[in-house]
Amino acid sequence: MSSLEDGARQLDTVLLKVASRCNLDCSYCYVYHMGDNAWRDQPKQMSDAVLDAVARRLADQYALQAVPFSVVLHGGEPLLLGVAKLERFCAKLRDALPHPCGIHIQTNGALLNEPIIDVLVRYDVGISVSIDGPQDVHDRFRVDHRGKGSYTQVRAGIENVTARADARPLLAGVLAVIDPESDPAEIYAALKTLGAPGLDILPRDGNWETLPFGKAAPDSIEYGRWLEGFLDSYLSDPDPPRVRLLDDMLRLVLGGCSVKEGVGTTDYGIVVIEPDGTVDKNDTLKVAGAGKDRFGERWSVLTDSFDHILRSPAFADYYRQQRPSSPACQSCPDLAICGGGMVAHRWSETRSYDNPTIFCADQRHLIAKMRRLAEAALPHAA
């Protein structure tokens, strides 16, 4: 019988940092351009020995909690593993985590060639590709180490996937980081033409100390207006793809639940495994400052089980941190929808995470729009 009956946390998502370096140099990347240089101390790639330990620990945790979770090959750029090593990694992970556990890869797409795709098909690895819209928008920030735009290679990688009947079902979606100076209708149209069944959109990272790109002040709503425009395009489309962020928020407005972190009040058990096997918190916490994604106690898959980590007071503190503590959030009528936003976006030097998200005004602007739409669409009680 599972020992999780006493209330131990469960894993929901494991970000497996199989590579610490990247073939691109996107100017907004929180890993390389937010002041945390821990990646320099990591091996360039995860070793086979560390992967073996990861697979054993994940298999043990799945047997214990008996609830499936997802493993996402991440980086850096995970496809820098190359074909042979990617094959070994995917084979080992799939052997440890049979369906319904999901294995996915988050990639910039520039290296999605036929041999790579063969491996992903063989082990049923879902594919998500980062692309920010049409070429002029994408190439403004998503450049290589020579400063050259990456759109042509990324678009070709996506087309390599969609051109194959066996690979097309693996394309879970494309992920765009918002440029608030772009036209949201143009971005929506460009992303839809890629043929992915789902879209995801993320704001630029920032906090109360360092405002996100394009945001003039904490109470300004540049991102809220952009998201409102994207929502208008989405709702006017007779045959839309899924848009995870908007779908989650609309469900919450109508009384449902979210399915991913960032909105709503559902908590998620997310851990990061670094290339050297160290277990860390969600690495988006780097946005709050160097080392903010590290636990005080240093755990490794080479020495520690996930059950031990998930039962620890340090993990309990990290888990509770998902819930906003700010009095402004606690009294807000939109809390059930916003959820306080991403934890890293609440950071300030004076109050730590005890703040609303820096996108509070933007979130409330978008939520108000969604509420008006819902009220107009729902029949009024007699």
Q: What is the pLDDT of residues 115-134, one digit of tens each?
A: 999 999 999 999 999 999 99
Q: What is the pLDDT of residue 309?
A: 96
- What mean pLDDT comes out for the span 135-148? 98
What's the rounded Cα separation, in Å, for the pair 138 and 156?
14
pLDDT at 5 over 80: no
DSSP 23: S
224 CB-near residues (< 8 Å, 6+ apart): 359, 361, 362, 363, 364, 365, 366
Q: Are 241 and 171 in contact (CB under 8 A)?
A: no
Residue 163 structure tokens: 């051109």
Domain ranges of the chain: 3-320
- What mean pLDDT comes out for the span 75-83? 97
Q: What is the pLDDT of residue 8?
A: 66
pLDDT tens-digit series, residues 148-181: 999 999 999 999 999 999 999 999 999 999 999 9
What's the rounded Cα separation, in Å, for the pair 134 and 140?
10
- What mean pLDDT comes out for the span 261-267? 83
pLDDT at 202 over 90: yes
pLDDT tens-digit series, residues 236-245: 999 999 999 9
Residue 188: band (very low, low, confident or very high) from pLDDT cuts 50, 70, 90:
very high
Q: What is the pLDDT of residue 268?
A: 83
pLDDT at 183 over 50: yes
pLDDT tens-digit series, residues 12-53: 999 999 999 999 999 999 999 988 899 999 999 999 999 999
Q: Is the dihedral of CA 362, 347, 315, 56 positive or negative?
A: positive
The mean of the pLDDT values for the chain is 94
Fold of 3-320: TIM Barrel (3.20.20)
pLDDT at 355 over 50: yes
Residue 1: band (very low, low, confident or very high) from pLDDT cuts 50, 70, 90:
very low
Phi, psi dihedral angles at 79 (to 5 degrees): -75, -5
**Of 187, 184, 181, 199, which is closest to residue 232 (Cα–Cα)?**
184
Q: What is the pLDDT of residue 380?
A: 60
Q: Is the dihedral of CA 113, 118, 121, 126 positive or negative?
A: negative
What's the rounded Cα separation, in Å, for the pair 16 and 14?
6
